[in-house]
Amino acid sequence: MAIKIEMLRCFCAVAQTGNLSEAADRLGRTQSAVSMTLKQFESQLGKKLFVGERKNHLSALGEQVFEMALKQVRQFDQTVQSIETAADASNGQIRIASVPSVAALIFPSVLEHMTQRFPGLKVELRDTDSQQVLDALAEGKADIGIASGLHPMKGINAIPLFEDRFGLVCASDHPLITSAEPPTVKDVIASSFVRNALCDLIQTPNFVQAVEDADVTIHNTHSLVTMVRTGKWVTILPQTVARFIPESTAFRELADLPDKRQVFLYVKDRSRFKDLTDACSNFILNSKLV
């Protein structure tokens, strides 16, 4: 018997709830049916996924399987949702994935333009990091992507969209913002610096060397800005981010950091609704949204 998605779903529900009864309620199945599916899964693997008869403690294998199974269940559900949306898209569909700093600027205008021009159009928007934008394009989950940096991909055109300079982001009353002299990389690193994924795009040697010693890294932009708003932390981000950060936070260029982030528009050569993809990408390129 092959491992089925329902086995993974059942196992994940039991692992998350810690007992068969709550897992059964969550899945809308009987407790005996959940127990049987779980036994079939363990039989297929030839090993136990839980320690003892109670289901509140995963085995070492169970811990590994849970992480992988949960990812697959979520991916499967997202795929099913995308398939259903595509099947229902009689008037067309456009799917866009973008890094958050650009998504916040372009999504409202793109959504308004495309839905007005193409009534009944299905639109799917997602904001995520650059790697996941590229993954969505490669896996057929997006028709258009906006990501930091140039990443050549087969069957996908990479078009320069804009570039913006990196600089300090911190509380608007922070001494590095209010000082008369522009701050330096050394000043920033010495001021409770928080590293983020976009820092990897910076090539200035003294910054690259200094950032290696950063103790704190935050990948989510919203969480990052929330941290620096407290006035206790500072970070480095592209200037575009300054267009939507709170008023209590400010952006300032550094005297010795000339690096700029390059942002590219990625468009698939072939898509189900190519006319819509072309119309949307042309709007983004020509309307100067960023």
pLDDT digits over 98-152, tens only? Answer: 998 899 889 999 999 999 999 888 888 998 889 999 999 998 889 999 999 999 9
Domains 90-161+262-286 and 164-259 alike in fold: yes
Q: Which residues lie across from 124 on neighbouring strands? A: 95
pLDDT in tens, 144-175: 999 999 999 999 999 999 999 999 999 999 99
Which residue reads 């920033």 in tokens? 188
Across the 290 residues of the chain, what is the mean pLDDT of every consecutive 10-residue run? 88 91 91 92 91 86 92 85 69 89 90 92 89 91 93 93 94 93 92 90 89 85 86 92 82 94 93 89 86
Please state the CATH superfamily assignment of the domain spanning residues 164-259 in this structure. Answer: Periplasmic binding protein-like II (3.40.190.10)
Q: Are 235 and 170 in contact (CB under 8 A)?
A: yes
The alpha carbons of the chain give a radius of gyration, in whole angstroms, of 24
Separation CA 41–CA 129 (nearest Å): 34
Delimit the domains of the chain by residue range: 5-86, 90-161+262-286, 164-259
Query: Which burial class, exposed, middle or buried, applies to 26 when counting CB atoms under 10 A from its CB (0-12, 13-18, 19+)?
Result: middle
pLDDT of residue 288: 77
- pTM flag (> 0.85): no
d(CA 261, CA 239): 9
**What is the Cβ-side half-sphere exposure of residue 200, based on CA atoms within 13 angstroms?**
10
Would you call 118 helix, strand, or coil by DSSP? coil
pLDDT of residue 88: 66
The rounded distance, in Å, linking the Cα atoms of 120 and 114 is 10
Hey, what CATH class is 5-86 in?
mainly alpha
Which CATH architecture fits 90-161+262-286? Answer: 3-Layer(aba) Sandwich (3.40)
Task: Give the whole-angstrom CA distance, residue 3 versus residue 258.
Answer: 53
Q: How far is CA 132 from the centre of its chain?
A: 6
Backbone dihedral region for residue 239 (phi beyond 0: left; psi -120 to 50: alpha; all else: beta): alpha
Q: What is the pLDDT of residue 246?
A: 77
